[in-house]
Structure 1
Amino acid sequence: MNSIDLTPLYRNSVGFDRLASLLDHALTSETSVGGYPPYNIEVLSENRYAITLAIAGFVQEELDIQVEKGVLTVRGNKNSEPERKYLYQSIANRTFERKFNLADYVEVTDADLSHGLLTITLVKEIPEEMKPKSIAINQGGNVLEHESEGYNDGKVNKK
């Protein structure tokens, strides 16, 4: 698969190198096998989010959640169970790994397992020094002073 040239998008941008690598990775990497486990990404408020994964049959000890270099990784490693005999089996009972790329300043704050759903809460906290601020425009010492009596019909009278 060919890589897409994103150069035109960055002509007026500074510091978005990570975005280019994320797009390139998304276009070249394989998707998760069969889309398992299914998940939702929910906006809770302006700077709060939740990722909910449907992981029926997993217990807390079989789950691992890690964040490294802006990537949230959720792994489920099913412990071996005694051999069962099924007439029909549709509930997935397999090991999985699901990765989510996190934007800058997004932190995982909580994880909760309830009723077969793993909910991971995230908050985007922009540091105070990164928030927008107004910049005062100062007039330097070389300010031109205009005298109304020095003008005559649009022409300047030299004194």
Structure 2
Amino acid sequence: MTTAFSLAPLFRNSVGFDRFNDLFEAAARNEAGSSYPPYNVEKHGDDQYRIVVAAAGFQEQDLDLQVEKGVLTVIGGKRDNSSEGVTFLHQGIAQRAFKLSFRLADHIEVKGAGLANGLLSIELLRVVPEEAKAKRIPINGEKPALN
């Protein structure tokens, strides 16, 4: 049973955030292709985020991270089994190839990544340029705002 919910009431008093609503609803949908490998998206402050991907069985050379046009892509390739002569009685550690994509919001930059204890951590930081920051608008100022 799937419970559908809408975040539209949260966005009634906002302008230009329709894209965020779509992103949240897409993330809430349970798509079959997005279940492997499991991952967390964490917020560590106002401008700091981390994506943690469970990459058990993968080494650094088996993983590839790319950012293109605001989309972060994590690709894990199946590595060759170098255990020749080994017969698995049970092979429960999945090492199948995967591809995860994350659409990054405006001004989000990937600052680094690390692999430790089977977890791939990708550090993200929101860097807002000066021209995009809030500006104080004078009321009844000396000069008219529009000529």
Q: Structure 1: which 5+ residue stretches go unaligned?
A: 1-5, 142-159
- Which residue does the alignment assign to 1:67? 67
SS of 2:44's partner is strand
Aligned-partner Cα distance in 2 for 1:42–1:26: 14
Partner residue of 1:113 out of 102, 112, 115: 115
Larger radius of gyration: 1
The separation in 2 between residues aligned to 1:25 and 1:133, in whole angstroms, is: 33
SS at match of 1:32: helix
Quote the Cα distance in structure 1 between the aligned partners of 2:134 and 2:77. 43
Aligned residue-pair number:
133
Residue 103 of structure 2, aligned match among 101, 104, 118 = 101
Partner of residue 38, structure 2: 38
Task: Kindly indicate whether the alpha-carbon contact (under 8 Å) linking 2:110 and 2:123 is maintained by their aligned counterparts in 1.
Answer: yes
Q: TM-score, normalised by structure 1?
A: 0.68
Question: Do the aligned partners of 2:44 and 2:50 also contact (CA within 8 Å) in 1?
Answer: yes
Q: Which runs of 5+ in 2 are unaligned?
A: 1-7
Distance in 1 (CA, whole Å) between partners of 2:129 and 2:61 is 34
TM-score after normalising by structure 2: 0.73
Distance in 1 between the 2:47 and 2:74 partners? 22
Cα RMSD over matched residues? Answer: 2.9
Cα pair 2:79 2:95 within 8 Å, conserved: no
Compare relative contact order (CA 8 Å, sep 6+) and give the higher one, 1 or 2: 2
Shift of 1:13: 3.4
Identity %: 45
Residues 85, 60 of structure 1: CA spacing in aligned structure 2 closer, same or farther, 3 A cutoff?
A: same
